[in-house]
C-alpha cells in the first residue's frame, strides 16, 4: 500500500470536495455519521476525532458522495427500552452509575453529554442496520459497538447496547431473519451474548483475549486466545472458526464489530497484531460475508484507543468501499496539520495579528509604556494577538474539545518574561485549573544558520481526570493528558510557517514526548541519533507508553555494562523550512557512532512486545 505524502494533501482534499459535489458515480454502500460523534469522553483514552478523521480520509479518497453519507439521529427512549430494563435506564441519571460504567469519575455536568453521545451512536447503528437490510448492502456506522452493555447494567465504557437495539428495532419493523454478530474487538462481547442468550436466531461469535463470564447462550461461539496474540495465531483462529459458524447460523444479516484495540500499539491492549494483520482480518470477514455469501453487512468501529486507532479502521473501510484495494491513510500528524492549515488559510491575517496584513505592522501601543518610554510587546511571538489565537483555537475545535471535558477554557498570555512568551489555557475564567501551558522563544543557537521556534516548556493535563489500571501515569505525569498533543505541534508548525521560522526545537524530557514525531524529528547530536536507532529496534511493535515506562523504570539495560539506560534528554529539531529540511537531510546522512546494544528486562509483565 502506498502512503499518502504530506505534500499531496491539499490536492488530495480538493479532490474530495469535487467528488463530494457529486462528480462521481453513486456507490452501493452507505456510511452513517454525525459530527456529534466527535466528542471527548471523560476518563476514556480514545481519540475524540476518530470518526471525523476516518470520514475526512474516505471523502478525500473519493469514496463518499452525497448519496452515500447518512446522518445519525439519537436512539429514542422507546427503542432503548426494548433492550434495557426501566430501572437501569432510570439509574443512568445518577453520576455514580455512569462512573461505574466508565471506570472513572463522571460528574453531574457530564451525564447528559455521555448519554447523548451513546444515544446518538446507537441511533447510528439502528440506521445502518435499516439501510443494510433495505438495500441488501454494506453499511458502516462510524461509531457504535457497545458490546458490554447488558439489559440491566453497563460496563467497559458501554452504556447502551446498540447492536441489540438495532436488531430489536429491525424486528419491530417486520424483519424475521437470523442474525450473526461477529465481534472481533479485543474484549469479549458479553453484553450482547447475555441479551440474546435465549434467542436461537441471534448467533454471537466473539474472538477475544478472555471470557468475561461463564454464562451459556443457545447460539454462541467464543474463542478466547489469551494474551500477546500475534498475526499468525489470530488469523488461523479466525479462518478455522468463522466460516463454519457462518454456514451453521445461515444468517440474513451480519453485524461486524471491527474493533482495532487488537493492534500492537493500542494503549489498552496487549495483543501484537500488526497493521497488515488487522487489515487481513477485516478483509477475510468482508470477503466471506459480502463476496462469497452476498449478505447485508453492518460494520461498527467498536474498540480502539489512542491517536492512531483511526488509521486501522480507515484502511479497512477504504477497502470495503472501494471493493478492490485498501488505501494507506496519511499519518495522524499529517491529517491534524492539514486540518488546521485549511482552517488558517481562510482566516484573514489581520484577524490573527490585528495589523494591516502579513507585514508585522507595529501599532503605537507596541512601542512605549506610558511614562517610561520603554518598548513593550503586546503580541505573542511578535505577531499574534490574543484574539487571533482564540480565533484559530475556536475554529479548529480545540476549545470545544476542552468544553466537552467540562471546562470553560480561558486564555492567558505572558509576554514580559525574558525566557520567552508563555500561553496558558485555564479550565475556567478564575484560573483555578491549568490545562495547557507552553513557553516559546526564538532560537538561533541550537543549529547554526537556522532560526527555530524553541519549545522551552509544554504542559498539557486534565486535572479533573484520574489515573486507573487501564490508564496508569506516564513518567513525569501528575494528571492524565488531554490527548491533544498532535494539535499543539501542528499549530506550532503553522506558526513557524507564518513567522518564517525554520522549524521547531525542543529537548524531550521523556521518551513519550518525542516518539510520536519520531519520523520527522532529527536529533542534533550524532550520539543521540545512534541511541534512538537502538531504541527503535528494541521497541519495535511496542506501545509508546510501555516503552516510556520501561525506560523510566530502569528496565532497559546496556548489555555491555549491565547498567540501566534511562532516557537521556537531548535537543531535537522538527524541520519546517527548505533550509531546515536540507540540514536534516545532511544530519540523517552523517556517520553515527556505534549504537549501544540494549536489552529489555522488565520487572513484571512485558507490555505489548511483538
CATH of the domain at 89: 3.40.800.20
Per the structure block, which three cell numbers stand in for 128? 445502518
Per the structure block, which three cell numbers stand in for 176? 424475521
**Residue 301 maps to a domain:** yes
Asked if residue 272 and residue 292 are part of one domain, the reply reads yes
Per the structure block, which three cell numbers stand in for 313? 479502521
Asked if residue 542 and residue 473 are part of one domain, the reply reads no
In sequence order, the β-bridge partners of residue 460 are: 436
Give the dihedral sign, CA 397/402/408/410. Answer: negative
| pLDDT computed for residue 469 by the predictor | 77
Q: How many CB atoms lie within 10 A of CB 394?
A: 13
221: left (phi over 0), alpha (psi -120 to 50) or beta: beta
Range of the domain at 461: 331-506
Asked if residue 192 and residue 50 are part of one domain, the reply reads yes
Contact of 572 with 509, CB cutoff 8 Å = no
Asked if residue 359 and residue 244 are part of one domain, the reply reads no
365: left (phi over 0), alpha (psi -120 to 50) or beta: alpha
Alpha carbons 282 and 284: distance in angstroms, whole number = 5
Q: Determine the distance from the C-alpha atom of residue 421 to the mean position of all C-alpha atoms in its chain, rounded to a whole number.
A: 30
Q: 350 in helix, strand or coil?
A: helix
Per the structure block, which three cell numbers stand in for 448? 547554526
Domain boundary among 330, 346, 367: 330
Nearest to 144 by CA among 165, 130, 171, 170: 165
Q: Rounded mean pLDDT of 368-376?
A: 47
Lowest mean pLDDT among 443-447, 469-473, 478-482, 594-598: 469-473
Contact of 422 with 439, CB cutoff 8 Å = yes
Give the start-end residues of each E strand in 45-190: 69-71, 138-141, 179-183
Cell 454494506, residue located = 138
Contact of 575 with 496, CB cutoff 8 Å = no
Percent of the chain topping pLDDT 90: 74
Alpha carbons 168 and 129: distance in angstroms, whole number = 11
The average confidence (pLDDT) of the chain is: 89
Alpha carbons 70 and 276: distance in angstroms, whole number = 30
406: left (phi over 0), alpha (psi -120 to 50) or beta: left
Q: 109 in helix, strand or coil?
A: helix
Asked if residue 345 and residue 388 are part of one domain, the reply reads yes
Lowest mean pLDDT among 263-267, 282-286, 289-293: 263-267
Does an H or E element contain 54, and which?
helix 50-60
Residue 362: is it exposed, middle or buried by C-beta count within 10 angstroms (0-12/13-18/19+)?
Answer: middle
Tell me the CA distances in angstroms from 333 to 53, 191, 282, 489, 543, one per residue in order: 11, 35, 25, 9, 17
Domain boundary among 295, 330, 365: 330
Give the start-end residues of each E strand in 164-263: 179-183, 202-208, 220-224, 253-257
Asked if residue 64 and residue 208 are part of one domain, the reply reads yes
Asked if residue 301 and residue 166 are part of one domain, the reply reads yes
Per the structure block, which three cell numbers stand in for 404? 466537552
- Characterize 510-547 residue by residue with b for buried, 16 or more Cβ atoms within 10 angstroms of its Cβ, and e for exposed: bbbbbbbbeebbbbbeeebbbbbebbeebbeebbbbbb
Asked if residue 142 and residue 26 are part of one domain, the reply reads yes
Contact of 231 with 274, CB cutoff 8 Å = yes
Does an H or E element contain 522, and which?
strand 522-523
Work out the pLDDT band at 404, boundaries 50, 70, 90: confident
pLDDT in tens, 306-319: 889 999 999 999 99
pLDDT in tens, 480-532: 999 899 999 999 999 999 999 999 999 999 999 998 888 899 999 999 999 99
**Residue 150 maps to a domain:** yes
Q: Rounded mean pLDDT of 46-51?
A: 90
Length of the chain: 610
* Stated pTM of the model: 0.81
Question: Phi then psi for 128, rounded to 5 degrees?
Answer: -60, -40
| pLDDT computed for residue 574 by the predictor | 98
**Residue 403 maps to a domain:** yes
- Widest Cα–Cα separation across the chain: 88
Per the structure block, which three cell numbers stand in for 121? 451512536
**Residue 1 maps to a domain:** no
pLDDT in tens, 80-110: 999 999 999 999 999 999 999 998 888 898 8
Asked if residue 551 and residue 492 are part of one domain, the reply reads no
Nearest to 215 by CA among 263, 168, 151, 138: 151
Q: Rounded mean pLDDT of 562-580?
A: 96
pLDDT in tens, 19-36: 444 444 345 799 999 999
Asked if residue 164 and residue 54 are part of one domain, the reply reads yes
Domain boundary among 293, 315, 330: 330
**Residue 609 maps to a domain:** yes
**Residue 378 maps to a domain:** yes
Asked if residue 348 and residue 295 are part of one domain, the reply reads no
Q: Rounded mean pLDDT of 72-76?
A: 97
| pLDDT computed for residue 428 by the predictor | 94
Task: Give the residue ranges of DSSP H helices in 507-552.
Answer: 526-538, 544-552
Asked if residue 315 and residue 442 are part of one domain, the reply reads no
DSSP summary character for residue 452: E
Number of domains in the chain: 3
pLDDT in tens, 210-256: 999 988 899 999 999 999 999 999 999 999 999 999 999 999 999 99
**Residue 98 maps to a domain:** yes
Per the structure block, which three cell numbers stand in for 310? 483511526
Alpha carbons 11 and 35: distance in angstroms, whole number = 24
Give the dihedral sign, CA 80/83/87/88. Answer: negative
- Sequential DSSP letters for 588-610: HHS--PPPPPEEE--SS---S--
Amino acid at each position: 500500500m502506498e502512503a499518502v505524502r504530506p505534500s499531496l494533501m491539499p490536492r488530495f482534499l480538493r479532490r474530495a470536495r469535487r467528488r463530494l459535489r457529486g462528480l462521481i458515480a453513486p456507490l452501493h454502500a452507505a456510511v452513517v455519521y454525525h459530527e456529534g460523534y466527535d466528542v471527548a469522553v471523560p476518563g476514556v483514552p480514545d481519540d475524540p476525532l476518530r470518526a471525523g478523521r476516518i470520514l475526512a480520509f474516505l471523502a478525500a479518497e473519493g469514496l463518499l458522495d452525497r448519496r452515500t453519507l447518512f446522518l445519525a439521529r439519537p436512539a429514542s427512549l422507546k427503542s432503548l427500552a426494548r433492550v434495557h430494563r426501566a430501572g437501569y435506564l432510570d439509574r443512568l441519571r445518577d453520576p455514580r452509575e455512569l462512573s461505574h460504567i466508565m471506570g472513572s469519575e463522571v460528574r453531574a455536568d457530564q451525564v447528559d453529554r455521555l448519554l447523548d453521545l451513546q444515544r446518538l451512536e446507537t441511533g447510528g447503528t439502528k440506521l445502518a442496520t435499516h439501510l443494510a437490510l433495505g438495500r441488501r448492502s454494506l453499511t458502516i456506522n462510524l461509531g457504535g459497538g457497545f458490546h458490554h452493555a447488558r439489559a440491566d447494567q453497563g460496563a467497559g465504557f458501554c452504556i447502551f447496547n446498540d447492536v441489540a437495539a438495532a436488531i430489536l428495532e429491525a424486528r419491530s419493523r417486520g424483519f424475521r431473519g437470523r442474525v450473526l454478530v461477529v465481534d472481533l474487538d479485543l474484549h469479549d462481547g458479553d453484553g450482547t451474548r447475555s441479551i440474546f442468550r435465549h434467542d436461537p436466531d441471534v448467533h454471537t461469535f466473539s474472538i477475544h483475549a478472555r471470557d468475561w463470564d461463564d454464562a451459556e447462550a443457545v447460539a454462541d461461539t467464543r474463542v478466547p486466545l489469551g494474551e500477546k496474540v500475534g498475526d499468525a495465531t489470530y488469523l488461523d483462529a479466525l479462518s478455522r472458526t468463522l466460516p463454519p459458524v457462518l454456514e451453521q447460523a445461515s444468517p440474513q444479516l451480519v453485524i461486524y464489530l471491527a474493533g482495532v484495540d487488537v493492534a500492537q500499539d493500542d494503549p489498552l491492549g496487549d495483543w501484537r497484531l500488526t497493521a497488515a494483520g488487522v487489515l487481513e482480518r477485516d478483509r477475510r470477514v468482508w470477503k466471506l460475508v459480502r463476496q462469497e455469501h452476498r449478505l447485508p453487512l453492518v460494520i461498527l468501529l467498536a474498540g480502539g484507543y489512542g491517536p492512531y486507532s483511526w488509521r486501522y479502521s480507515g484502511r479497512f473501510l477504504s477497502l470495503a468501499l472501494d471493493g478492490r484495494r485498501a488505501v494507506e491513510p496519511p499519518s495522524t500528524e499529517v491529517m491534524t496539520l492539514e486540518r488546521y492549515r485549511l482552517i488558517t488559510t481562510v482566516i484573514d491575517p489581520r484577524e490573527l495579528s490585528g495589523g494591516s496584513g502579513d507585514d508585522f505592522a507595529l501599532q503605537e501601543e507596541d512601542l512605549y509604556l506610558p511614562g517610561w518610554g520603554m518598548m513593550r510587546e503586546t503580541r505573542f511571538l511578535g505577531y499574534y494577538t490574543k484574539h487571533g489565537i482564540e480565533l484559530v483555537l475556536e475554529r479548529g475545535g480545540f476549545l470545544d474539545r476542552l468544553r466537552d471535558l467540562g471546562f470553560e477554557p480561558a486564555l492567558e498570555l505572558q509576554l514580559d518574561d525574558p525566557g520567552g512568551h508563555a500561553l496558558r489555557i485555564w479550565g475556567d475564567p478564575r484560573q483555578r485549573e491549568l490545562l495547557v501551558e507552553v513557553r516559546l522563544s526564538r532560537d538561533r543557537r541550537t543549529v547554526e544558520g537556522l532560526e527555530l521556534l524553541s519549545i522551552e516548556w509544554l504542559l498539557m493535563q486534565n486535572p479533573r481526570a484520574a489515573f486507573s489500571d487501564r490508564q496508569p501515569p506516564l513518567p513525569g505525569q501528575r494528571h492524565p493528558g488531554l490527548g491533544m498533543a498532535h494539535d499543539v505541534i501542528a499549530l506550532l508548525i503553522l506558526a513557524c510557517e507564518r513567522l518564517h521560522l525554520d522549524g521547531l526545537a525542543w529537548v524531550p524530557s521523556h521518551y513519550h514526548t518525542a516518539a510520536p514525531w519520531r519520523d520527522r524529528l532529527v536529533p542534533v547530536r550524532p550520539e543521540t541519533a545512534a541511541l534512538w536507532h537502538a531504541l527503535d529496534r528494541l521497541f519495535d511493535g511496542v506501545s509508546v507508553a510501555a516503552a516510556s515506562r520501561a525506560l523510566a523504570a530502569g528496565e532497559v539495560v546496556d548489555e555491555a555494562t549491565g547498567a540501566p539506560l534511562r532516557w537521556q534528554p537531548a535537543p531535537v529539531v522538527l524541520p519546517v523550512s527548505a533550509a531546515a529540511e536540507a540540514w536534516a537531510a545532511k544530519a540523517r546522512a552523517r556517520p553515527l557512532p556505534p549504537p549501544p546494544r540494549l536489552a529489555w528486562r522488565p520487572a513484571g509483565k512485558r507490555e505489548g512486545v511483538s
